Amino acid sequence: MGAYGLQTHIWNNNWKTVLLMAGFPVLLLLLTYALFLLFAGLTGTYYGNDPMTGYFMWAGDALAQAWPYAIAGAILWFGIAYAFYQNIIDAATGARKVERIAEPKLYNLLENLCISRGLTMPALRIMETDALNAFATGLHKGNYCITVTRGLMNTLNDEELEAVLAHELTHIRNADVRLLIIAVIFVGIFSFVGEITFRSLRWGVPSGGGSSRRSSGSSRDSGGGAIIAIVVALAIIAIAYALAIVIRFALSRRREYLADAGAVELTKNPDAMITALQKISGNSVVESAPSEVREMFIENPHSDFASLFATHPPIAKRIEALSKFAGGRVPAPQAQIPQAPSPRDPSKRGPWG
């Protein structure tokens, strides 16, 4: 399978990271304009004598004055998230950092993998939950981290646990982790703004109290222009939010196949990866984790229509790939062993003796 060595995947991730960084200001300005337009439509604030275009002119003028603050606010958001994302994830998942003295087996398994490839040892964290899952975080060398659940440690044997650690280590090596963290931060801004906007609309926003700087024309024309402005603003906000979602799901599900293959390359044991996935399947849900963090998990099951918004491929397909391309053996389902009849209680003999 040899997927870890697929340099094009790493280049592709780096290219997507640059694209996210470059495209984000455009989306942000578009969203800011939509918010001004929505405000203008709701409050009846516009320029000129033509309300059909006056709302758009007022929103454009407001954007011209406010864009530096919008960019500065987004940079501040990104800076805070960059500095504290691990603390935020720990607070959301309840994960805590562990050292060798506390979890020697887990620490040694990861350390051996890192030594074998000359990699810097990531930090280790544990989530105290019975669910079976794991994920990696980090933006650059020196602050990478791998988090596993207590249920995973208690259920998987050493070889399977090593395979999961190798899977997460491959995400770090392939730059998947950095791309996901940046995407989560950016998408979080649009999600926050979109949610605040629609919550405000649901609870009601004062309308008609604004002021026009020039003639406002007839109330009928003004009302029609306001409705158009509101509809256009909501459409832009919805498009910006949809693009953010597309970015989230455009982070290919292929990365999981590659990480599985990378784990096999590191451990030389496809069977362990297969049985680990079998044990994780159906037992991976961490209810307390936010959806943004679950996207980084080794398994994130979806039940929506046709799995259109799935962030992970089905485990059955991942096992099939490991079997077909990595030479793994899928254990046969264990046959139901008929239970031997319990020894008859001599005190309860039948009439036949």
By DSSP bridging, strand 123-127 and strand 145-149 are parallel
For 265, what's the count of Cα atoms within 13 Å in the CB-facing half-sphere? 19
Residue 235 makes CB contacts below 8 A (sequence gap 6+) with none
Residue 157 makes CB contacts below 8 A (sequence gap 6+) with none
Find residue 126's DSSP bridge partners. 96, 148
The answer to whether the beta carbons of residues 279 and 156 sit under 8 Å apart is yes
Greatest Cα pair distance, the chain, in angstroms, is 109
Compute the distance between CA of residue 166 and CA of residue 207 in angstroms, rounded to an integer: 57
Compute the distance between CA of residue 147 and CA of residue 178 in angstroms, rounded to an integer: 15
Q: Which two tokens stand for residue 11?
A: 């280049």
Compute the distance between CA of residue 67 and CA of residue 202 in angstroms, rounded to an integer: 27
Residues marked active site are found at: 168
Mutual angle of helices 219-250 and 176-203, in 10-degree steps = 150
CB under 8 A, 24+ apart: contacts of 326-329 = 326/1, 326/260, 326/261, 326/264, 326/270, 326/273, 327/270, 328/264, 328/270, 328/271, 328/273, 328/274, 329/270, 329/271, 329/274
For 103, what's the count of Cα atoms within 13 Å in the CB-facing half-sphere? 20
Compute the distance between CA of residue 153 and CA of residue 148 in angstroms, rounded to an integer: 7
